[in-house]
Amino acid sequence: MRSFIAVDIDDNLKKNIIDIQNALSTSYIKIKFVEPENLHFTLKFLGDMEESMIDDIYRILQKNLERYKPFEINLKGLGAFPSFSYIRVLWIGIEDENNFLVNIIKELNRDLRKFGFKEEKEVIPHLTIGRVKFVRDKEKISQILKELQNIKIGKMIVDKILIKKSVLTPKGPIYSDLKEVKL
């Protein structure tokens, strides 16, 4: 089973994200955008794993999150991986005043190592909004990206973390919630 740990995007912010996706829909670039129902922050990609491990992962998640209360994050700024000069993934950044998301990700990385999951070295919380297939006009796209680089999307409350299942289909992934931990 393919799965990951995530935070879903507040429905109130999805329209703002769709507006950004629409602004990037030009003939200068070919992008496969993330569908509104699939928008989420991945805290830890688990990959293919045995379904029997879900309960162990859920217990670790509960333990790690018991000291957290709901907290606010601010979605702000457009970025690209690996860079604006070579774009493969477009993402929206996250401002987290207390670094709660980064801390949660680091704790999950540390505690999931004992189950054989790879520990991520660098933690950059972000919301993937599209994957770039190819760029027709780098100069035009660079101009659009610079205009959106500091865009403010809005704030949301993180009040639960989910373990999700991902089923890959020819039309795109289908996500379903397996377990939920409320903050």
From the candidates 39, 40, 100, 181, give the one annotated as an active-site residue. Answer: 40
pLDDT in tens, 43-53: 999 999 999 99
Instruction: Say whether 4 is catalytic.
Output: no
Mean pLDDT confidence for 105-130: 90
Selection from 155, 161, 32, 178 nearest residue 97 by Cα: 155
From the candidates 21, 33, 126, 158, give the one annotated as an active-site residue. Answer: 126
Mean pLDDT confidence for 2-21: 95
> Alpha-carbon dihedral of residues 49, 54, 59, 62, nearest 10 degrees?
100
- The residue behind tokens 């994050």 is 73
Please report which confidence band the pLDDT of residue 139 belongs to, taking 50, 70 and 90 as the band edges.
Answer: confident
Residue 24: CB atoms within 10 Å: 20
Instruction: Evaluate if residue 161 carries a pLDDT over 90.
Output: yes
Instruction: Evaluate if residue 143 carries a pLDDT over 90.
Output: no
Please give the span between the terminal C-alpha atoms of the chain, in angstroms, as a whole number: 26
Radius of gyration of the chain (CA): 17
Enumerate domains of the chain plus CATH numbers: 2-73+95-123+152-182 (3.90.1140.10)
Instruction: Say whether 22 is catalytic.
Output: no
Burial class (CB in 10 A: 0-12, 13-18, 19+), 10: middle
Q: Is residue 60 within 8 Å of residue 161, measured between CB atoms?
A: no
